[in-house]
Structure 1
Amino acid sequence: EGLQQARAPIYDVPSAVEVLLAGSYERLPKCIEDVGMQSTLNEDQQKPALKKLDILVRSKLLETPVPKEISEVKISDGTALLHVDGEFKALVTLGYRGHLNLWRILHLEILVGERSGPVKLDASRRFLLGDDIERRMAAADEQQQNPFIILYAVLHEFCVALIMDTVIRQVHGLRQGRWKDAIKFELISDGSMGQGGSASSMQITQDGEYEATGQRTPGVKITYWLDLDKSPGTSDAGVCPFIKIEPGPSLQIKCVHSTFVIDPSTGKEAEFYLDHSCIDVEKLLLKAIRCNTYTRLLEINKELIKNSQIFRGAGDVLLQCDIFQTDAEEHKKKATMFVARESDGQEVLCVRAYGSSFFILGINIRTGRYQLQSSRNIITPSELSDSEDALNQGTLSAAEVFISLRSKSILHLFASMGKFLGLQVFENGSSSVKVPKSILSASSFLLLGFPDCGSSYFLLVQLDKDFKIMFKLLETCSEPSGKANALDVVRFKKIDIRRMQ
């Protein structure tokens, strides 16, 4: 009996030959032929069938609450469209394997993408994902569990892995491009995420597809302004700012900045987030840099406004200003173009030197270093560079730097006027005249010589603490020691301009 049951079947060779030669088989029983000839429902039959299915779907949704994370549910023609912003759309209906009480997935659409378009996910991978979710939903329904929680959990976990892998790939691209030496990054894994952080990481294959590795989905820490570590004078010395992008406890993508920064568009604490349907890490990085730039300049702005020597009226200190309107100020607009170019169009701080001339303070987006520019020809480039270095090294406060710059720019103006009038110009001790400290009221001063008087008379130009001009006429003579080109001040006279007519 055992051998009889184990014998090979008698193959239907004639039927097989007919199928191979004719491409069809016409000897099927009549009952099978009738079943095979059944057509689809016509329009009159479809409407009541879809209406009945629609009622069943609505009734089932009332029995099974949809998770709050699903942002939108649309019911039409016996189907339910479940939508989670920036992650996925799932079109479902009833009738899994012929069971009208079980859900089946008709279509899945992954919404995760970047500037070049949606993340690549081929049809076979999408089908396998949908088939796996259907089986899990059916098992959950049989165990009196919510199948939509299974649907959301699986697809959300899948989308989070896609998002983080897209972020990591973009960061690698930034490091190989324009941000090569300006940023660094590291992968982070927060152990406090618990079970929510144990999502399967989706790694990129050479074909541009994604494969699960079963590891914890990592986060990314992007550090910028690396030169701040080399600037001991900055308030954040030794701590370069950074932004973290990582899955939170509930697998929600979080973007957190290392320090408190203000968003210039709102005036409130900056909030950072990723647009999952158009992931752009560089855009997020530029926003972090812009907010940090604005916050640092805002602190300097507050410091200068409190200083009565610098801030004397509206317009003396302007943050995020657009004051380049007239033709007379066109040269100042050109002077600002350098700062704007390096700051990628970010905010700048304008501090009045005198009249319509300004100093422009910006921050380099790549290094985080302060950059000083000025209106044309109001100060020498070397003095501006020295002030910029002092500001970056922290040897002088911002108020001290701009007080010094304003004094030097006004003296530079009088030096230009003196040259125009044919006078000899000596700035900050460049002449052979030894000016006694007792008659100097500031570290910066200007000496104007009169060619017709030889080396006998000089005009000393200084500024008081309120930037008012003080003139003193000096009479000099040669030193008794007989040193060549050495002149001593014999006497001086203070010139009161207010009494001159």
Structure 2
Amino acid sequence: MTELIHQLTQQTYYQLNQLTNSLHDRSGLERRALIVLFLNQTRIKFAKLMVAVKWALNNSYAPANGREEESNKDGTAGNFIINKSWDILRVIEAQDSLLRNAADSLYNLHSEVSERSAPIYDLTNAVDVLTTGAYKRLPLVIHKTIESPTITTPRDDEKKRVIDRLSRIIHLKLFSASIPSQFTEAYVLNGHAVCGVSREFRAHITLKGDTETEPWVISHLDIFVRSDPELTEESPNLQHPSFSKQIKEVNHLAQSRMSASSNPLHDLYEVVHAFCISLQLYILSHQCQKLSKIQPSLQLVSDGSDHSKKIVIKYWTSSSVTASNTPATSSQSGETSKSPPTLEISSSPSGLTLKHTPSITDPSNHSVPLMKPRSDRLNLGEILNHVINAYVQSRLTRAYESLRPTSGGFDFHSRSRLLPSEEDAHQLCLKIDLVKNSSLNVRIDRRTGLYSLKVEPPSFEEDFIKLLEDRINSMDVGEIKTVVRVSLNRKMVEYYESLAHSARLTTTRRLPKRSLVANANFTENALYIRLAQPHQDYFLVVEITEIFQQKLFLIRTKPNDEVTGLVNIEQVEALPDRHNGSIELKPLPIAACYRILNRMRE
């Protein structure tokens, strides 16, 4: 019992030292947990020891093996337990020795059996003989005494004959096989049938044997779907091991489908083409996520899928384009939509297809075909530029067509034309002639999709231009006719104001109602020009009609309580034809006004 207590104490001391050394690199919480665990285990051990000591002290019977005197002589029953324990340990050690000897014997027997059952092959020299046709480990004395003949191997000729025979068999098998119409190439090369789709994939397949009934085997598969080489940051890494693993899985799936199909080439196309389409959508979605960080107006819309079927992209969604000035887009049905334009890239049996909402149409209201992406040079930025340019051109074309005259209206269409923009030759500009070598240029900002106006030469205030732009952007494209009408009226009024100022006459855009006669109902486009002394009570009124004809009146305001007069100058004076259907500006009839006043005085 004394030895048992000593061993348990030594073990506890050793474990305590180990615990102390391992607590340096641990956190406070881990230290507390390890100390609690050590204390629980130690408590259990000493509790067991305490039970054994109490049992030994309480056991008073004598051993039955003739050692009674020795046991009583010791005075404790603990010695009896220790002796029995040592006997048990000796029996266990003897059994362990016997088991160890049996295990060693079995291992030695296994080694001897494996060595005697299989011969030792000279694999290294066998490889040399098969590949080079020579044995390199012969004694040197043989080379000195006997000149070895040159060994010629028929390997190349034999290989060529096998390849030619296999190529003829593959030709016959291809001739009788059903080849998908989507394959752009299908030919035989070096014992392989090479088939695939241009810029998408190419598969090298062969036969297992030398008969036509042998199944097809895929020996190599090339995938050409890539990002544009000019793109670096926007492109995913296709050199990652996971991509190579996917290629192997596609190869395995296509092989299993071909082995169990009556039209193996069709199954090959369906499997590999589906993977290429999914890869293209993955690359484009990755590029869109990168572009959306650079261009905030670009937004990738998630439809709940993993973009393996389609990608939906909305552009012109910048926060600066609010609901009040979002560009109005018209659909084929004539309805107006305030939602931003959407580009949907989806998969189809022929490849990727682009669908734009609203539809992009030509002047004949036919849909314009969009650019088909190149699978070997995928560039979402280039696709978006093409789509946005086509949509901008379509909107400007609709604006140009909306200027056609209605019944009894003015023909703005004949004064308009679509020209390349001076800032960018690839962009269109709607140029509308106003008066006197002045024009109104209508463009669409590719970054926001909003209309922008510019008068050449510049003469309108920026606030007035901004007001006209807001009117087009907040309403339908048909409002462009109203904007052109307002701009043309403004230009004509400015022209007559400049003529009046050149004659040193003052102008005003309105007169008090009490100063006008009862039947002098002029529109807002009227210009009032005060004549010089002594006729300062008279005004020359230039009124511009809805069809941009100029009506001239001479009115007299009330100096006191006298009755005013209203004279239609064109009815009194013979003036040049001012109603010939054009808006050519004429000089102001100042001299005619003075002649009328002189006749009135006489």
Matched, 1:36 2:36: no
- Which of 171, 180, 190 is the matching residue for 1:77? 190
Matched, 1:242 2:242: no
Q: Distance in 1 between matches of 2:464 and 2:511?
A: 15
Matches within 5 A, 1:130-169: 132=249, 135-136=252-253, 139-140=256-257, 142-143=259-260, 145-169=262-286
2:445 alignment counterpart: 364
2:551 alignment counterpart: 470
- Which of 465, 483, 489 is the matching residue for 1:401? 483
SS at match of 2:428: coil
**Closer/same/farther in 2, CA of residues 407 and 129 from structure 1, 3 Å limit:** closer
**Closer/same/farther in 2, CA of residues 380 and 479 from structure 1, 3 Å limit:** farther
Q: How far does residue 4 in structure 1 lie from its aligned partner after superposition?
A: 8.2
**Closer/same/farther in 2, CA of residues 67 and 224 from structure 1, 3 Å limit:** same
SS at match of 2:354: strand
Q: How far does residue 229 in structure 1 lie from its aligned partner after superposition?
A: 3.3
**Closer/same/farther in 2, CA of residues 369 and 53 from structure 1, 3 Å limit:** same
Q: How far does residue 401 in structure 1 lie from its aligned partner after superposition?
A: 2.6
Which one-letter code corresponds to 1:376 in the other structure? P
Q: How far does residue 405 in structure 1 lie from its aligned partner after superposition?
A: 1.9
- TM-score, normalising length from structure 2? 0.61
2:205 alignment counterpart: 92
Q: How far does residue 168 in structure 1 lie from its aligned partner after superposition?
A: 1.0
- TM-score, normalising length from structure 1? 0.72
1:198 alignment counterpart: none
Aligned-pair RMSD on alpha carbons? Answer: 4.2
- Does the 8 Å CA contact 2:419/2:429 hold for their aligned counterparts? yes
Q: Distance in 2 between matches of 1:233 and 1:47?
A: 69
Q: Distance in 1 between matches of 2:240 and 2:208?
A: 22
Matched, 1:260 2:359: yes
**Closer/same/farther in 2, CA of residues 258 and 281 from structure 1, 3 Å limit:** same
SS at match of 2:323: helix
For structure 2, the 5+ residue unaligned runs are: 1-104, 134-151, 329-334, 577-591, 593-602
Report Cα offsets for 1:441-482 as digits up to 9, x if no partner.
4221222234544843332211123322222223334466xx
Report Cα offsets for 1:116-151 as digits up to 9, x if no partner.
269754496676566555655554555454433443
**Closer/same/farther in 2, CA of residues 121 and 94 from structure 1, 3 Å limit:** farther
Percentage of identical aligned residues: 17
Which one-letter code corresponds to 1:184 in the other structure? Q
Matched, 1:310 2:447: no
Q: How far does residue 258 in structure 1 lie from its aligned partner after superposition?
A: 2.0
Q: Distance in 2 between matches of 1:229 and 1:28?
A: 83
**Closer/same/farther in 2, CA of residues 263 and 163 from structure 1, 3 Å limit:** farther
Q: Distance in 2 between matches of 1:54 and 1:93?
A: 9
Which one-letter code corresponds to 2:483 in the other structure? V
Q: How far does residue 108 in structure 1 lie from its aligned partner after superposition?
A: 3.1
Matched, 1:295 2:394: yes
Which one-letter code corresponds to 2:450 in the other structure? R
Q: Distance in 1 between matches of 2:534 and 2:366?
A: 63
Q: Distance in 1 between matches of 2:220 and 2:153?
A: 21
Q: How far does residue 251 in structure 1 lie from its aligned partner after superposition?
A: 8.6
- Which of 295, 301, 316 is the matching residue for 1:186? 301
**Closer/same/farther in 2, CA of residues 421 and 439 from structure 1, 3 Å limit:** same
Which one-letter code corresponds to 2:496 in the other structure? F
Matched, 1:321 2:438: no
Q: How far does residue 377 in structure 1 lie from its aligned partner after superposition?
A: 4.0
1:285 alignment counterpart: 384
1:493 alignment counterpart: 567
**Closer/same/farther in 2, CA of residues 91 and 446 from structure 1, 3 Å limit:** same
Q: Distance in 1 between matches of 2:501 and 2:395?
A: 40
Q: How far does residue 58 in structure 1 lie from its aligned partner after superposition?
A: 1.0
SS at match of 1:171: helix
Report Cα offsets for 1:64-122 as digits up to 9, x if no partner.
32333322212233222212133112233334899993444454332212322697544
2:164 alignment counterpart: 51
**Closer/same/farther in 2, CA of residues 369 and 431 from structure 1, 3 Å limit:** farther
**Closer/same/farther in 2, CA of residues 473 and 55 from structure 1, 3 Å limit:** same
- Does the 8 Å CA contact 1:189/1:218 hold for their aligned counterparts? no
- Does the 8 Å CA contact 1:261/1:292 hold for their aligned counterparts? yes
**Closer/same/farther in 2, CA of residues 47 and 420 from structure 1, 3 Å limit:** farther
- Which of 483, 488, 492 is the matching residue for 1:410? 492
Which one-letter code corresponds to 2:287 in the other structure? Q
Matched, 1:448 2:563: no
**Closer/same/farther in 2, CA of residues 49 and 436 from structure 1, 3 Å limit:** farther
Moved more, 78-87 or 301-310: 301-310
**Closer/same/farther in 2, CA of residues 491 and 171 from structure 1, 3 Å limit:** same
**Closer/same/farther in 2, CA of residues 232 and 73 from structure 1, 3 Å limit:** closer
- Does the 8 Å CA contact 1:113/1:278 hold for their aligned counterparts? yes
- Which of 369, 376, 381 is the matching residue for 1:271? 369
Q: Distance in 1 between matches of 2:416 and 2:307?
A: 50
- Does the 8 Å CA contact 1:104/1:134 hold for their aligned counterparts? no
- Does the 8 Å CA contact 2:537/2:559 hold for their aligned counterparts? no
Which one-letter code corresponds to 2:339 in the other structure? V
Q: How far does residue 374 in structure 1 lie from its aligned partner after superposition?
A: 1.7
SS at match of 2:183: coil
Q: Distance in 2 between matches of 1:104 and 1:110?
A: 17
Q: Distance in 2 between matches of 1:290 and 1:94?
A: 50
1:67 alignment counterpart: 180
Moved more, 137-146 or 102-111: 137-146
Q: How far does residue 165 in structure 1 lie from its aligned partner after superposition?
A: 1.5
Moved more, 159-168 or 41-50: 41-50
**Closer/same/farther in 2, CA of residues 263 and 400 from structure 1, 3 Å limit:** closer
- Does the 8 Å CA contact 1:189/1:217 hold for their aligned counterparts? no
- Does the 8 Å CA contact 2:186/2:193 hold for their aligned counterparts? yes
**Closer/same/farther in 2, CA of residues 144 and 172 from structure 1, 3 Å limit:** closer
Pairs aligned (count): 433
Q: Distance in 2 between matches of 1:245 and 1:402?
A: 38
- Does the 8 Å CA contact 2:218/2:255 hold for their aligned counterparts? no
- Which of 215, 229, 236 is the matching residue for 2:323? 229
- Which of 103, 110, 127 is the matching residue for 2:223? 110
- Does the 8 Å CA contact 1:263/1:291 hold for their aligned counterparts? no
SS at match of 1:240: coil
Q: Decide which structure has greater strand share.
A: 1
For structure 1, the 5+ residue unaligned runs are: 17-24, 191-214, 323-335, 481-487
Q: Distance in 2 between matches of 1:140 and 1:36?
A: 37
